[in-house]
Chain A
Amino acid sequence: MAIGATAPVWVRFAEPVLAAGSTPVNAPRHLLVVFLRGGNDPLQTVAPMGNAALLKLRPNVGLRDGDMSPMGNGYGVNNRLTSFVDFWRAGQLAVVQQVGTLTKDFSHSVATRKWESGNPEDRYNSGWLGRYLDATTGVGSVRAAAFGDSLPLSLMGDRANSLSLTSIERFAFNDVKVPDVDARRVALSRFASAPAPSGSMLEAIARGHQDLLAAHDPLSKIGNATINGRAPTLADNAAQLFAAGLGTEIGFISLAGFDTHSSERGRHASAITKLNDTIKNFFSTASKLGVRDQSVVLVVSEFGRRVYENKSGGTDHGEATSVFALGSPIAGGMYGPDLDLSQLNGGNLPTRIDLRGVYATVLDKWLRTNPAAILGATFPTIPFFR
């Protein structure tokens, strides 16, 4: 049974003052998922201020008031996350607290598979976004793109129009300088238009060649040209892809370094700085390219961390974590239960919101599809979209 059926599903207990612009009704919509690998510590990200009991449990690790920017509701944002502060003030940051899986999974791989599949019944054969892509029709050759070595489980589905790339610059034929390059491309275009029986493997091979040729030229034009005065980062690349006219709806970026078993203050600070850069760069480029208001960033991680610190100045694997959603379509505020140290479960923040409730919200309110078909059941949505 979903946790939501017995416990308070969500409580919107604090919201910023302001309202911001609206999203055009039928504009293409983009979702960038940022997966914090290793288990992000929610209490080092957005935490209650002036909480002596909390600091007693994490005397070396914990954020002091001076480490945080007040949100005006008793909570503060880690000072390293300047972008979060800006989005909060603009009413465009949702913090969803105590999200997790229904079972206690303290293994990175198991918890990650549950988060990425988004449906324990499916048993890891596909990802929640992969099934979204299967269930819906897109308009271009690259509906989803993940930056990294290989396609993450989140994007795996039966159709193959998801792309994994290490960067836009490196999504390139490696023979562009050979004298016979044009003749080679003519051959490839023959393969892309090869006749094949409907539904056959040969058709899928031809389709792969078509999608490759369709994606290649627009991406090679983007290349590694400076944007916003810097060599493009992966976050810039994500915004550039959304604006490239390839029908790209989903972007996926993984950030590592959140498994802070020791020396957490320094390690987490440097990991969270990468998150801050990702958010800042993505939105500045999205803004420049005119896709900012059609873009939402969802920040997730496979689990949270133990509330009390260990003997190495770090924290061990925990249970629930916080999810963050940013962008102008977001109804800024805090969602989920208020932090209650008397309600810990083996030293962990217990899961109060099934992660599938977060996914259901994104699928329903942002991607405009029926979440039950993707998630295998109905989950209560959380009103963090405008």
Chain B
Amino acid sequence: MTDEHRALVAHLFRRAGFGASTGELDKYGARPYGDAVEALVNPDVTNRDRSSRLNQTSGGAGAQASLADAQEGWLKTMVASRAPLVERMTLFWANHFATAYDPGSNVDVAALLDQQATIRKYTLGSFADLAHAMIDDRALSCYLNNDRSTKAKPNENLARELMELFLLGLGTYTEEDVKETARALTGYHLVEAAPRVPPTLVYDKHRHDDGPKTILGVTANFTPHGVVDLLLNQRAARQHIATKLVTHFVGPSPDPVLVGTVASSLAPDWDVQKALRVIFYSQQFRSETARQTLPKTPAEFVVGLMRPLERTEVYEGFAYMAQAGQTLFRPPSVAGWPIGKRMLGPGAMLARYNAASTFARFHVNAPAASAPAGPELTSWMEAFGMTSLSPTTLDALKTYSDATVKQPSAVRTAGLLTVLLSSPDFNLA
């Protein structure tokens, strides 16, 4: 197959995963594009670790886990996963239903780990199932105070986010709709089983406001799940989710035609796999111009350099991700982590550079590590998911190389790796 095909496969793996390995490039570079798409969208191994070296229980250990355990466990799962699109989409939905650690409001580690397990269950499945599960989720409910919403005093936070951020999008509903939706979402409260055991979110129909509500012009005795169904049945909902998916995978200012096609593919069963196939097969996704539209997120950056090097230092990886602006389980608001150019401030760029230099050092200090082995630039570049480099990066690598001919090879290896991984090319998704 052609270099162009290999470049397309590399692009797909950067966007739908954390970058292709050289092995994956060789394999899918010699096969039809659809094979690569299917391998990602329909992985035969769901979320199994890649190697025995990285094969440890991940995702924290239930109620006793600390926040740091949970955060590092999540990063470890991303680094080790053999189903990278499952991880990409899990992070995508965790950002969509953004929930931040706030133990004072009962958004504790156990609740966040439960939420993550729920998201994982539906991550490539039905978005409708995920949306229904999320309104019963303790972490999200407590984060948005729905556990304290009562018939007498309905709290509008969850209702508002459900309409604005989670399901419909701004401009598609009225303030009155928010108020009525808040009434429909009443009935939940926390039950403490025993001291020091995390509480459970319980729905009690006697606490639910069972009067008629008028939402988006429909009058009925909406229950919480009834109102979720009503919102999911809106055209605006499919449009909203499609826009977010296309923006995430293709780039900002998404093509309305592609958004429309993706939105149609979500009807009627909200099949996420189907929508992702539409995106990955689209001309817009495959085009050359789409390849310079998105920067790597901190997660993509850190995981994208840890995976090829098979590094296990999740403490450092997590810290650099946080400094670069993406603290797992702690999005800055319900709107999620910053995206696009907002991720590229001087502090974030320093964190990215320091991550590159740190993991390059770890790699050189551990010569037993398997990849990438050779000094040849091409093999390195490809190990990190790139099939070509810009003139600027090539020039920087050559200048570095010329200036360090007298340095020991370990120094130069770490240096070249650092330069490559802090290049504009690697910073692009």
Contacts and interface: CB of A to CB of B under 8 A. Distances in A.
B399 A187 contact: yes
Interface stretch (A5-13, A23-31, A173-181): A173-181
A215 B347 CA distance: 9
Contact of A165 (B334, B347, B415, B418): B347
B333 interface: yes
Given A206-B424, A216-B350, A183 B345 contact: no
Nearest to B333: A124
Interface in A139-167: 141-142, 149-153, 156-166
A138 to B, nearest CB: 13
B240 to A, nearest CB: 14
Interface string B361-400: 1000000000000000000000000000010110111011
Given A151-B332, A160-B343, A163-B346, A108 B325 contact: no
Interface stretch (A56-64, A188-196, A358-366): A188-196
Contacts of A214: 346
Chain A interface size, as a band, is: 35 or more
Contacts of B293: 201
Contact of B341 (A160, A194, A211): A160
A386 interface: no
Given A108-B102, A201-B293, A259-B104, A160 B345 contact: yes
B422 A151 contact: no
Interface stretch (B52-60, B216-224, B257-265, B352-360): B352-360
B247 interface: no
Interface stretch (B41-49, B269-277, B303-311, B404-412): B404-412
Given A182-B403, A187-B400, A158 B341 contact: yes
A166 B327 CA distance: 14
Chain B interface size, as a band, is: 35 or more
A201 B292 contact: yes
Contacts of A233: none
A204 B338 CA distance: 14
Nearest to A123: B164
Given A108-B102, A184-B418, A208 B346 contact: yes
A264 to B, nearest CB: 16
A208 B325 CA distance: 14
A2 B272 CA distance: 44
A178 B345 contact: no
A190 B392 contact: yes
A201 B295 contact: yes
A87 interface: no
A200 interface: yes
A171 B350 contact: yes
B414 interface: yes
- Which of A110, A153, A166 has the most chain B CB atoms closer than 10 A to its own CB? A110
B353 A212 contact: yes
A202 interface: yes
- Which of B347, B407, B412 has the most chain A CB atoms closer than 10 A to its own CB? B347
B396 A190 contact: yes
A207 interface: yes
Nearest to A191: B424
A164 B327 CA distance: 13
A165 B345 CA distance: 11
A369 interface: no
A183 B295 contact: no
Contacts of B104: 108, 259
A179 B340 CA distance: 35
A151 B337 CA distance: 10
A191 B392 contact: yes
Which 6 pairs from chain A and chain B are nearest by CB? Answer: A160-B345, A208-B344, A211-B346, A208-B349, A183-B403, A187-B396
Interface of B: 100, 102, 104-105, 143-145, 157, 164-165, 170, 292-295, 322-323, 325, 327, 330, 332-335, 338, 340-350, 353-354, 357-358, 361, 390, 392-393, 395-397, 399-400, 403-404, 407, 411-412, 414-415, 418-419, 422-424, 427-428
21 contacts: A107-B105, A123-B164, A151-B347, A158-B342, A165-B347, A173-B354, A175-B357, A175-B361, A180-B404, A183-B404, A186-B396, A187-B397, A191-B422, A194-B390, A194-B392, A202-B292, A202-B428, A204-B340, A208-B345, A208-B349, A212-B349
Given A150-B322, A180-B403, A200-B292, 13 more contacts: A110-B145, A113-B333, A141-B346, A160-B344, A160-B345, A174-B357, A175-B354, A175-B361, A183-B399, A187-B419, A191-B422, A194-B424, A212-B350
